[in-house]
A = this chain, B = another copy of it.
């Protein structure tokens, strides 16, 4: 089979697939092409390939989306437009929460000089809505809009501990992805960890995704009392209280100062959301 005939075959496949999709699904497929590109600008051909749509359909939809502002054209490439940020800003759980929380997150960042996270739950995942990076801190894989499984991060554990029974059982019964040797991957251990988080209102977890990093997180309540978000700090394990019985250093373990700062920040944000 020549390359050209493969191309024709695959295009024919796109056409067949396209006819089964709703118009709305085709629009969303175009937008999803950009999620999967990680923000890189895409040509019409790239978008068509990633969305699994014919070039004709892609061309038409990209034109309409560009006119509306969901996409922006830069010579022969397209990228997500500023209108999407505008729309995101009207998401009560996203940028609006972030706007209320920001002064407190900045205080926490200034006080600790460590990486600060603000996260919400989306289904069985945790999504970061804010991340303040500590220049000298732990190198993290997190980014705004990034998603991780709930069991593997500090903020995720908090959100899972305060989630409905159904959500908890779904996570506990499903496979628990392993990232490092320290990731909690068995359900009895996870169940105990969640009970502890619920009791103490703080999650402290070490090296679950990044070796050498400790995550400390605490729940944020919405005006009706539900847990709507979690705030967390990620610090290097060095200087943090070990699991053994070693004596603390003269200034105390870092945990002693970081935990109250995180808990206080969570409470301050809850209060601001209620006001």
Contact = CB atoms under 8 A, between A and B. Distances in A.
Contacts of A99: 131, 143-144
Contacts of A26: 23
B64 A143 contact: no
Contact of A39 (B82, B96, B102, B120): B96
A274 interface: no
A85 B94 contact: yes
B79 A91 contact: yes
Interface in A49-70: 60-61, 64-65, 68-70
A252 B86 CA distance: 39
Interface in A136-192: 143-147
A110 B69 CA distance: 34
Contacts of A41: 92
A88 B90 contact: no
A25 B24 CA distance: 10
A127 interface: yes
A106 B103 contact: no
Contact of A27 (B24, B81, B120, B135): B24
Nearest to A70: B28
Interface string A96-127: 10010011001001100000000010100001
B92 A133 contact: no
A34 B84 CA distance: 12
Contacts of A92: 39, 41, 79-80
A6 to B, nearest CB: 30
Nearest to A86: B145
B93 A84 contact: no
B22 A90 contact: no
Interface of A: 22-28, 31, 34-35, 37-39, 41, 60-61, 64-65, 68-70, 72, 79-96, 99, 102-103, 106, 109-110, 120, 122, 127, 129, 131-133, 135, 143-147
Given A39-B91, A85-B95, 17 more contacts: A24-B27, A24-B61, A27-B27, A28-B68, A34-B90, A39-B96, A41-B92, A80-B88, A82-B93, A84-B94, A85-B127, A88-B88, A90-B145, A99-B131, A99-B143, A103-B133, A106-B132
5 contacts: A28-B68, A80-B90, A83-B122, A87-B145, A95-B144
Which 10 pairs show the lowest CB-CB distances between chains A and B? A89-B145, A23-B23, A39-B90, A88-B88, A80-B91, A86-B145, A85-B94, A24-B64, A85-B88, A82-B122
